[in-house]
Amino acid sequence: MHQLPETGFLRLPSIIGNPKAEPPIPALIPVKKSCWWAGVKSGRFPQPVKLGPRVTAWRVEDIRALIASA
């Protein structure tokens, strides 16, 4: 499993990965962006936290719980 901090926040590329980044970011949950947002809307994935007007993130604890439930 990837090294996740105990607490904090993750931005979307850290969750679904970004192969075009330098260095590439591996996916914790291998889904596309549109599938992720549809899952957030339906309740399948955790709700985000707005950290600023243009910054959306997810609690590490919520992502850990999602991975553990899979």
Distance of CA 68 to the CA centre of its chain: 14
* pTM for this prediction: 0.89
Distance separating alpha carbons of residues 23 and 6, to the nearest angstrom: 23
| pLDDT per position as a tens digit, 24-51 | 999 999 999 999 999 999 999 999 999 9
4 — pLDDT class (breaks 50, 70, 90) = confident
| pLDDT per position as a tens digit, 50-64 | 999 999 999 999 999
Distance separating alpha carbons of residues 42 and 23, to the nearest angstrom: 32
In which residue are the tokens 């889904």 written?
31
